[in-house]
Amino acid sequence: MRYVLSRSEENASKKNLSAVTVKIEGSDEVIFIPLQAISMLKSILSNMAEGKPVTLLPLEAELSPQEAAAMLHVPSSFVIELIEKGKIPHQTTEGSPKILFRDALTYESQLRSKRRENLNKLASEAQALKLGY
């Protein structure tokens, strides 16, 4: 089935519309897609075109330590350590620890800003000590 956009996203945003209208060829069906969803679709499709796997997860999804580890690019033993040390919120469902996707995202952004901070510290220290700069 082919989907035809009756208005481009650019047109829609110029006219300040909050949705685009999609008419399905060969049928009378018309659907409205909010602009926000259009940009999401765009990024999903471009990732798929590059052969990258795409997963949609609700914020309330429960991740196993293994799934959270894959998302954070760390070993799962590290995630289990975080849980044991209480450094990431978790809940225990049927005896196994689960991390909310929302909490994993929060942890990821904290990790990222900590890393940025450390990289900047490292660079200014090297410059202060004239280590090759």
Partner 1 sequence: MVALTAVLDANVLYPAPLRDLLLNLADTGIFNPKWSQIIQQEWVRNLLLPQ
Nearer to partner 1, 20 or 68 (CB): 68
- At CA 37, angle to CA 33 and CA 39, rounded to 5? 120
Cβ 114 to partner 1, closest distance in Å? 11
Return d(Cα 107, Cα 115) in angstroms, integer: 12
Give me the least distance between CB of 110 and partner 1, in Å please: 14
DSSP 12-58: HHHTT-SEEEEEETTS--EEEEEHHHHHHHHHHHHHHHTT-------
Q: Which is nearer to partner 1, 87 or 121 (CB)?
A: 121
The residue ranges that bind partner 1 (CB under 8 A) are: 52-53, 73, 112, 115-116, 119, 122-123, 126, 131-133
Least distance to partner 1, CB of residue 108, Å: 11
SS3 content of the chain, % helix, strand, coil (to 5): 50, 20, 30
When the beta carbons of 55 and 92 are compared against partner 1, the nearer one is 55
Which of 14, 112 has the CB closer to partner 1? 112
Q: How far is the CB of 126 from partner 1 (least distance, A)?
A: 4
Q: Which residue has the tokens 């040390």?
A: 85
